[in-house]
C-alpha cells in the first residue's frame, strides 16, 4: 500500500495556533520546571515571573511566522495521519475488485510522482502544489469508489424492478378500483412508490456517473505517466489535473446527494 498523500491545505484560525502552542510537551515542561524550582528552592518570585514570561510568549508566538511554520508541520503530520486512517477505512470496506482497482491507481500515483520529481524542467515550488493536486485526486478516487460500492450494494438490495412492478400495480388500482377507499389507498401507495423510484433512479444515475469518473481518472493517470517525462513545465502538468478536479468535484457533490437520498428511503 502506498504512503498517505500530503494533506490538503487547511485554513487555520489564530485559536488553532494558540492551542497548539500552549498544549505541547515543551511548554508544559518549562512551566512545570519553573514551578518545581520555585517549590524546591522557596524562590516564590519565580512563579509570577514564569507566568509573565508565559503570557508574553503566548502573545507573541501565535502571530510569529517562524512559530507558525513549526506548528504547520505538526498540523500537516496530524492531517496526514487522519488522511491515512480515512483511506484505510475506505479501502477495507471495498470489495476485492474495487480494492485492487484502488491499489493499482495508488501505485500509478506513486509512479507519476516519481517521474515528476525526476523531470528537471519542473519548477520545484510549483511541482509541490501540483503533486498535492495529484494526491487529492487519488484520495477522491478511493472516496468515489467507496461511495459507489456502498450505493451499488444498496441498489442491489432494493430490487428496482420489483418497486417498478408495485408502482404499475398501484397505478392500475388508482385508475380502475371500484371502491373509493381502495382507490384512495392505492393513490397513497402510488405516491410513496413514485417518490422511492425517483430517489432510487437518482442514486442509480450517480453510480453510473461515478463509474465513468473513476474510468476517467484511471485513464488520465495512465496518460500522465506517459506524458510527464516530456513535459516542459509543472504548469502543463497542473492544467490537466485541474480539469480532472473540476469533474471530480461535481461527482462528489452528487455523491453527497445520493447518500442523503439513500438515508431518506431506508
Q: 504548469: which residue's cell? A: 235
Give yes or no for residue 209 having a pLDDT over 60. yes
pLDDT recorded at residue 4: 43
Is residue 72 domain-shared with residue 165, that is, in the same domain? no
The number of folded domains in the chain is: 2
* pTM exceeding the 0.85 threshold for the entire prediction: no
Is residue 88 domain-shared with residue 136, that is, in the same domain? no
Determine the structural domain holding residue 209 and report its residue range: 95-266
Give per-residue pLDDT as tens, 138-194: 888 998 888 888 888 888 888 888 888 999 999 999 888 888 898 899 999 999 999
Is residue 195 domain-shared with residue 223, that is, in the same domain? yes
Ramachandran sector of residue 42 (left: φ over 0; alpha: ψ -120 to 50; beta: rest)? left
For the chain, the farthest-separated pair of C-alpha atoms sits apart, in whole angstroms, at 99
- Name 95's Cβ contacts closer than 8 Å, sequence gap at least 6: 149
pLDDT recorded at residue 257: 59
Q: How many CB atoms lie within 10 A of CB 130?
A: 21
Taking residues 190-208, report their average pLDDT: 88
- Grade residue 111 by pLDDT with cuts at 50, 70 and 90: very high
CA distance 254 to 210: 9
Which of 72, 83, 204, 87 has the alpha carbon at shortest distance from 143? 87
pLDDT recorded at residue 2: 41
Which of 18, 101, 30 has the alpha carbon at shortest distance from 59? 18
CA distance 174 to 10: 55
Is residue 12 domain-shared with residue 72, that is, in the same domain? yes
Helix-then-strand count for the chain, H and E: 9, 0
Q: Is 192 helix (H, G, I), strand (E, B) or coil?
A: helix
**DSSP secondary structure letter of residue 216:** H
Is residue 110 domain-shared with residue 54, that is, in the same domain? no
**DSSP secondary structure letter of residue 7:** P
Is residue 128 domain-shared with residue 144, that is, in the same domain? yes
- Name 94's Cβ contacts closer than 8 Å, sequence gap at least 6: 102, 145, 146, 149
pLDDT recorded at residue 261: 59
% residues pLDDT > 70 (the chain) = 87
Amino acid at each position: 500500500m502506498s504512503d498517505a498523500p500530503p494533506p490538503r491545505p487547511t485554513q487555520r484560525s489564530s485559536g488553532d495556533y494558540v492551542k497548539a502552542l500552549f498544549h505541547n510537551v515543551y511548554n508544559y515542561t518549562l512551566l512545570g520546571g519553573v514551578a518545581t524550582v520555585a517549590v524546591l528552592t522557596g524562590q516564590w518570585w519565580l512563579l509570577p515571573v514564569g507566568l509573565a514570561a508565559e503570557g508574553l510568549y503566548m502573545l507573541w508566538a501565535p502571530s510569529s511566522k517562524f512559530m507558525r511554520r513549526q506548528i504547520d508541520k505538526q498540523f500537516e503530520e496530524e492531517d496526514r495521519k487522519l488522511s491515512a486512517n480515512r483511506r484505510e477505512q475506505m479501502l477495507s470496506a471495498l470489495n476485492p475488485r474495487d480494492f485492487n482497482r484502488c491499489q493499482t491507481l495508488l501505485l500509478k500515483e506513486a509512479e507519476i510522482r516519481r517521474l515528476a520529481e525526476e523531470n528537471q524542467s519542473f519548477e520545484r515550488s510549483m511541482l509541490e502544489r501540483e503533486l498535492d493536486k495529484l494526491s487529492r485526486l487519488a484520495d477522491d478516487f478511493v472516496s468515489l469508489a467507496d461511495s459507489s460500492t456502498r450505493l451499488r450494494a444498496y441498489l442491489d438490495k432494493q430490487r428496482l424492478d420489483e418497486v417498478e412492478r408495485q408502482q404499475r400495480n398501484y397505478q392500475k388500482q388508482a385508475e380502475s378500483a371500484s371502491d373509493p377507499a381502495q382507490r384512495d389507498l392505492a393513490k397513497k401507495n402510488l405516491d410513496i412508490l413514485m417518490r422511492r423510484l425517483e430517489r432510487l433512479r437518482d442514486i442509480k444515475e450517480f453510480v453510473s456517473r461515478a463509474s465513468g469518473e473513476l474510468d476517467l481518472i484511471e485513464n488520465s493517470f495512465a496518460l500522465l505517466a506517459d506524458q510527464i517525462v516530456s513535459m516542459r513545465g509543472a504548469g502543463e502538468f497542473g492544467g490537466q489535473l485541474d480539469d480532472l478536479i473540476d469533474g471530480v468535484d461535481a461527482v462528489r457533490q452528487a455523491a453527497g446527494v445520493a447518500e442523503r437520498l439513500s438515508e431518506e428511503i431506508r
